[in-house]
Amino acid sequence: MKNFLLNQRGAMFGVDARIALIVASVLAAVGGLTIMSRLERSKVEAAEVGVELIRDALANWYRSHNALELPETLNELFDSGYIDNPSLRLDPWGQPWNYIRINVPLQVQSTEVNVNMATVVSAGKDGIADSLIIGGERDYALWEPLNDDIGAKFSTINIERQRVDDFKAQARLIVDKLSSYEQARYLEADGSCASDGPSWCEEEGGINYRQFNYYPRSDLDRNEDVTYYSEATGGSEQYIAGDPIDMERLMRDIGLPASYAVDPWQRTLYYQSNVTGRGEPPFSASVCFSHAGSCF
């Protein structure tokens, strides 16, 4: 009987040990899954942070370069110092980011601009990019990361809106300064002619100072019947439309910074001092920033 009891205890101990081992194995597996889950979650969070950092860098790069297009590759953001963490060249799973960019012409406040759109995507744990590859404005509007992809989209639309606001304010100021310049020169001539003035104060060759064009002369005015006040007073200079140096000089001469000779898209000013081509007053000047661009 004693031996029988001892054998039974040994058998029970063996069963208990096996149960304990099974429980320990299950707990270890659950613990391992928990650790792996936390590790994967941390990678997902790191990818989400990385995407936002890249988006911010794209915006800063675009603004500071007065760019018309986004960088061709994300490496340009690292090479130029807009992202200073080299580990972000790859996603948390060690794969390159999927970066797609497109350029879409849109109207913003009646001004045509090119809006740049892009997606930045990590293919996630499985390394397979499941999200749509954008090819146009509609794709961009509908785009969202699919399955285990982590990503975001970026657009320069807000930057372009600000550029349009700056452009219109800049153009209005140039027009105002040109108008002030013209009025000031006319008053100068009128004052000179209030008493014994120059010969051009009186009718001479069918014209007197009231028929002069008082705007700064542009090379685009080829009407030989027009007399400019600057010429009547001994000057002969004219401003070459579209020439960066001449347009900067024009801006300084009318009291504006030389930087106003280019618009927010880096187009050079085209100034016309007699846009209607008239041979007598009233004369009208125009301000454009390209041959076929919006004029003021």
Phi, psi of 84 (to 5 degrees): -100, 10
pLDDT reading at 211 higher than 70: yes
- In tens, the pLDDT along 78-96 reads 999 999 999 999 999 999 9
d(CA 108, CA 18): 74
Mean pLDDT of 188-216: 86
| Banded pLDDT at 14 (limits 50, 70, 90) | low
Helix/strand/coil (H/E/C) assignment for every residue in the chain: CHHHHHHHHHHHHHHHHHHHHHHHHHHHHHHHHHHHHHHHHHHHHHHHHHHHHHHHHHHHHHHHCCCCCCCCCCHHHHHCCCCCCHHHHECCCCCECEEEEEEEEEEECCEEEEEEEEEEEECCCCCCCCCCCCCCHHHHHHCCCCCCCEEEEEECHHHHHHHHHHHHHHHHHHHHHHHHHHHHHHHHHHHHCCCCCCHHHCCECCECHHHCECCCCECCCCCCCCCEHHHHCCCCCCECCCCHHHHHHHHHHCCCCHHHHECCCCCECEEECCCCCCCCCCCCCEEECCCCCCCC
d(CA 196, CA 123): 84
- Among 34, 90, 287, smallest CA distance to 179 is for 287
Tell me the pTM. Answer: 0.80
- In tens, the pLDDT along 255-278 reads 999 999 999 999 999 999 999 999
pLDDT reading at 18 higher than 70: no
- In tens, the pLDDT along 227-260 reads 999 988 888 789 999 999 999 999 999 999 999 9
- In tens, the pLDDT along 160-170 reads 999 999 999 99
pLDDT reading at 5 higher than 90: no
Mean pLDDT of 187-192: 93
pLDDT reading at 131 higher than 90: yes
Percent of the chain with pLDDT over 70: 85
Scan for tokens 């846009």, then name that residue: 275
